[in-house]
Amino acid sequence: MPRIVSPSILSADFGHLADEIALLDRSEAQWIHFDVMDGVFVPNISFGFPLLRQVRALTRKKLDVHLMIVDPDRYIDRFAECGADVLTVQAEACVHLHRTLQAIHRAGMRAGVALNPHTPLCAIEEVLEDTDMVLLMTVNPGYGGQQFIEHSYSKIERLRAMIDSRNLPTLIQMDGGVTLENAGALYASGVDVLVAGNTVFSSADPACTIRRLLTAERP
Ligand code: DX5
Ligand code: ZN
């Protein structure tokens, strides 16, 4: 499976957002990660529809939207209208997760399910066939720049085994605390898509950092 890097614009400079998006658009990153936070599911509020529409107009990269909000079903069609390509919901926020995944597909997007660090893999076991991507949170959601939870490796490996044993094309995305030091090991443990906020945007040369993430070797 080819590696994908999805820089998280939560860590971008919003005073110069068009420049930041132009930089990502020219980079080798295939996706752009867009973190929506409602101040209820997570203790932080980020951004929503108007900004997504602006970003959509500025890039042809795939927009990878991660909803950290309660009751995401209410907004699925609006995220599609604003240009999301992949829409990921938190399993913990969905009472009828299977129905939510169907609604995302009906709206023409790829459907992802995110699991918080404490949520066991069995939360997605029965919907794996209907899920295009499983996002493993490797920090507690809400903020960029947090430290990777080290024992996440075993969870990644067990999810990889579950997906491979069923011969599914489901992608594994990993979000939180990705660095140039751990990227190679994370791909080697079975991750397909790495989200990186702080590592990309706090670096002197974000495009070069994206390339280094894509080509990182196992240490
Ligand atoms: C955290 C968000 C992440 C965040 C990652 O709740 O879901 O996408 O932007 O940031 P870094 O890469 O800085 O840990
Ligand atoms: Zn995210």
Report pLDDT digits (tens) over 44-60: 999 999 999 999 999 99
Which atom of ligand 1 lies at the shortest distance from residue 198's CA?
Answer: 13
Q: In this structure, which residues have their CB less than 5 angstroms from ion ligand 2?
A: 35, 66, 175
Q: Model's pTM, two decimal places?
A: 0.98
Amino acid (one-letter) located at 105: H
In this prediction, residue 167 carries a pLDDT of 98
Beta-carbon contacts of residue 135 (< 8 Å; ≥ 6 apart): 66, 88, 112, 113, 114, 115, 173, 174, 175, 195
Q: How far is the CA of 88 from the centre of ligand 1 (A)?
A: 14
Q: Residue 115: which of 182, 181, 170 has the closest Cα?
A: 170
Beta-carbon contacts of residue 129 (< 8 Å; ≥ 6 apart): 166, 168
Question: What is the token pair recorded at 119?
Answer: 């949520």
CA 169 vs CA 129, 172, 187: distances in Å: 9, 10, 16
73 belongs to the catalytic site: no
Q: Given 38, 132, 175, 192, which residue is catalytic?
A: 175
For 189-212, b where at least 16 C-beta lie within 10 A, e where not — what string? Answer: bbbbbbbbbbbbbeeeebbebbeb
pLDDT mean across residues, the chain: 98
Q: At what angle do helices 206-214 and 17-26 cross, to 10 degrees?
A: 40
Report pLDDT digits (tens) over 157-197: 999 999 999 999 999 999 999 999 999 999 999 999 999 99
Residue-wise pLDDT tens for the chain (219 aa)? 799 999 999 999 999 999 999 999 999 999 999 999 999 999 999 999 999 999 999 999 999 999 999 999 999 999 999 999 999 999 999 999 999 999 999 999 999 999 999 999 999 999 999 999 999 999 999 999 999 999 999 999 999 999 999 999 999 999 999 999 999 999 999 999 999 999 999 999 999 999 999 999 987
* Number of Cβ within a 10 Å radius of residue 188: 15
